Amino acid sequence: MSEVLPETIPVRPDERIDVGRLMEWLEDRLPGAGGSPKVSQFSRGKANLTYLLDFGDGTEYVLRRPPLGPVAPGAHDMGREHRVLSTLWRA
């Protein structure tokens, strides 16, 4: 029987994000992104880093970023991923 992992975990120390800078950038760009969210990290996935931003009022957002360190050209293209996901959600 396989081990069941939690969906989210505390952010790994070497994969932390600067929440203050993130919130400054999101302030006028993302509805409901007010205050300082509780940030956790999704426990699965090996490539792009994926975080849960929980604003405590039922508003939650997922933040994805490329892995840290050297990345091959064309790999982990967040712009491409955004274009694909922005289209697929309608299906």
Q: What is the pTM assigned to this prediction? A: 0.78
In angstroms, rounded to a whole number, what is the distance separating the alpha carbons of residues 15 and 50?
Answer: 10
| Residue 83 main-chain phi, psi, to 5 deg | -60, -45
Over the Cα atoms of the chain, what is R_g? Answer: 15
The dihedral built from the CA positions of residue 45, 85, 58 and 65, taken in this order, carries a sign that is positive
Q: What average pLDDT is seen over the chain? A: 84
| pLDDT for res 3 | 61
| pLDDT for res 5 | 59
